A and B are shown apart, each in its own frame.
Chain A
C-alpha cells in the first residue's frame, strides 16, 4: 500500500498541484513556441536532449516551486530507473550489450522526455482551451475542458481516500483497487446527474484569462535557451 500510495501522490502533485498560476499564466503564443522547441529538441536533437534537463528543472521551480519539482523528479526518475533497469536486464541476458554509460543515458533521456511531457501538461490552461473552443464554435464542448481538469484530480483524490480507508480496514491493495476505481466512476455519474442541464447548455461568452508578462518572457527565453544548448553542444 505504501509504495502504491506514494506513486499516486507524486502523480497527483506532478499534475494537479497548481491552479492558474506560474507558467500557466504565460501568453498562449509563448506556450506554442515552447512546445515546438521541446518537440524539436526531442525529435531532431534527441541524442543531445538530456542537456536541457537543468533548464527544465529551473523552469519547474519557477513554475510551481520546490515541492512540485521534487514530485516531478521522483515521478520522472521512476520512469528513468524503470527503463534503465530494463535495459540493464536485457544487457545481462547477452542479447544486446549496453555499456553502463549507455544505460545511464537511457535513464536521463527517459527522465527528460517525461519531464517535458509533464511540464507541457502543466502549462496548458483549461480556461484558454475553453475560450479556444468557444471561438472555434465548439461552445458546447468547452465545458468539458473544465470538467476534465475537475474530474482528474477529484477522481485521484477519491481513489487515494478510498485506498486509505481500505488500509484501515486491513484490505490488500489489490482488493481495494476495484472499489476505489468504482468510486471514480460513481463520481462521474453524480456529476452527470447534478449538472444535467448545465452540461446541456453552451457558453455564450469567454472566461477572462489572467496573463503575466514575466512568465511569457521566461517561457520565450527558455525556448531560446534549450535550442541554443542543443545547437552548441
Chain B
C-alpha cells in the first residue's frame, strides 16, 4: 500500500465504454490540501475521467486499464466502506445523487452511515432547517446542490470530487462554495474539480489538467496564459434587439405545486418575440416554474396566460426532452425525415461525431446541444430553455448562445432561466425573481 499524502493517485492507461469513448494516458496526483482542476471542451472526457477515478465506471459497464488509488487504497479491491469514507462525489446532475425522500431523511441517512444520530443541530449549522421537511423531488436544482454541499461538509472526507459544482448555484451560493472550498483546503482535504470556467478558481491557483478528445493536452501548475490559450471567451459587445411583437402574456399568474405553498405570486409578464429574455434569481425563486408555466408545461393555479403560437420547453435535464434513443433518430424526427437538413444542423451544432451514440451515454453538454438542435429543427415560435449553458465549455457556450441569438433574430421568442453571467450578458431583457424569507417578493425587468 502507498503511504503518501496523496489522497488520489491516478495512473490510467485507458478507460471508457466498450465501443464508445476512450480516454488515454492520464496520470496525476491530488495531495492533501491541494486542488486539481480538470477542464476542456464538452465531450473531451472530463466526466469519463471522474467516473474512472471515483470507481463508478463499473456501474456503466465501462472499463479502466491502469491504477487508481483513493486514500492509499486501490479502487479495484478496496472495501466499499473505505472508499465511502474517503470520497465525496457531487455530480453534475445533482438530483440523482439524493437517496432520501425528504431532506431530513437524506441528511440523517448520511449521518447514520457515519454512525451518528442526527439532530436539529446539523440542520441549523448547515442552514437547512427551513428545508428539512421538504420532499426532495420538489427541490430546485440549486437547492439540491446546497443539500449535497451540506452533506459533503458533514461527512468530512479526505477527497472531494466535484463535477461542475456551480452550474445551478446563484451568485451568493457560488461565493459561499468558494469559501467552503478554501476552508476545506486549509483542513487538508484534497479536491478534484471539473469546471468549464477555470478562471473562476484563479485565486486558488489550482493544478490544471486540460483535456481534448480523450487526451491530456496540459497538466501542470495554474497558468492564466494556458487557460486563455485554450478558451475562447464569448463577446459581450453587440446591439440590443428590439421586440417584434408579443408572443405571450401572463396576467396575475399564481402557482403552487401539490401540497406546497405558492411558489409564484401575482406574476404579470409579457414575452416578446425577437428578443432573448433571461430569467434570473436566487435558487428556489421559481425560475423553472415560470418557464414551465409560460411554455404550457404547467397550468397556473390562478391567472391567465395567453400564447400566440407554438412553444417548446427544454428542461435542465435534457433527457426528458428526447423522444428517440439516438441523436440521429431524434434529429431525423425533428427534421421530418430530411436527412440533408439533419446533417447540416448536426454539423452546425458540432454533434456529427456522436449521431449514433445512445443519448443516455452522452455527456451533459452534448445532450444539451442535441436537445437544442432538435428544437431548432422543429421550428417552434417560442423557446423556453432551462440553464441552456449549464456545464458547457466556452466554445459550446458560444455556440449555444449564438443559436439562441439567431432564433431571436428570426423573430422567435427565446426565454432562458440561467445563473450564467455569459448568458445574461447576451440577453436583451432580464427578469429578476427576488426572494425574501423564502417567498417570492417581486419581479423586476431590466433591458
Contacts and interface: CB of A to CB of B under 8 A. Distances in A.
Given A13-B259, A190-B93, A201-B113, A150 B378 contact: no
A146 B99 contact: yes
Interface stretch (A43-51, A98-106, A162-170): A162-170
B106 to A, nearest CB: 8
B100 interface: yes
Contact of B133 (A20, A64, A154, A164): A20
Contact of B100 (A150, A165, A201): A150
A17 B259 contact: yes
A168 to B, nearest CB: 5
A179 B329 CA distance: 13
Nearest to A20: B102
Given A195-B97, A197-B87, A143 B135 contact: no
Contacts of A126: 101, 105
Nearest to B322: A179
A97 B25 CA distance: 78
A18 B105 contact: no
Nearest to B324: A179
B311 interface: yes
A199 B324 CA distance: 31
Interface in B90-104: 91, 93, 95-102, 104
A202 B114 CA distance: 9
A19 B133 contact: yes
B98 A183 contact: no
B115 A18 contact: no
Nearest to B58: A196
A59 to B, nearest CB: 17
Contacts of A127: 105, 108
B96 A187 contact: yes
A197 B84 contact: yes
Given A195-B97, A196-B56, A198-B113, A168 B104 contact: no
Contact of B137 (A154, A162, A190): A154
Interface string A153-174: 1100110011011111111000
Contacts of B136: 150, 154
A87 B312 CA distance: 44
Contacts of B93: 190, 194
Nearest to B94: A194
Given A164-B297, A168-B296, A196-B59, A207 B112 contact: yes
Chain B contact residues: over half helix, strand or loop, or mixed?
mixed
Interface residues of B, number: 64
B174 to A, nearest CB: 22
Contacts of A93: none
Contacts of B323: 166, 169, 171, 175-176, 179
Contacts of A147: 99
A193 to B, nearest CB: 4
Contacts of B54: 196-197
A193 B112 contact: no
B28 interface: no
Interface in B287-336: 292, 295-298, 310-313, 315, 317, 319-325
A204 interface: yes
B113 A186 contact: no
B376 interface: no
A203 B113 contact: yes
A153 B311 contact: no
A141 interface: no
A21 B133 contact: yes
B55 interface: yes
Interface in B243-273: 258-259
B107 to A, nearest CB: 10
Nearest to B93: A190
Interface in B16-54: 51, 54
Contacts of B100: 146, 150
A121 interface: no
A187 B136 CA distance: 14
B167 interface: no
Given A168-B296, A194-B56, A146 B96 contact: no
Interface in B48-104: 51, 54-56, 58-60, 80-81, 83-84, 87, 89, 91, 93, 95-102, 104
Contacts of B134: 19
Nearest to A19: B102
A67 B259 CA distance: 7
A77 to B, nearest CB: 18
Nearest to A157: B137
Contacts of B259: 13, 17-18, 64, 67-68
A83 B153 CA distance: 54
B112 A205 contact: yes
8 contacts: A67-B258, A146-B100, A165-B315, A168-B312, A182-B360, A206-B117, A207-B112, A208-B119
Interface of A: 9, 12-13, 16-21, 64, 67-68, 71, 126-127, 130, 143, 146-147, 149-150, 153-154, 157-158, 161-162, 164-171, 175-176, 179, 182-183, 186-187, 189-208
Given A12-B258, A189-B60, A195-B99, 15 more contacts: A17-B259, A19-B102, A67-B258, A68-B259, A146-B100, A146-B106, A150-B99, A164-B296, A165-B315, A169-B323, A182-B325, A193-B59, A193-B91, A196-B56, A207-B109
Interface of B: 51, 54-56, 58-60, 80-81, 83-84, 87, 89, 91, 93, 95-102, 104-106, 108-109, 112-119, 133-137, 258-259, 292, 295-298, 310-313, 315, 317, 319-325, 360, 378, 380
Closest 9 CB pairs of A and B: A200-B80, A190-B96, A149-B101, A204-B115, A17-B259, A207-B108, A164-B297, A197-B84, A19-B102
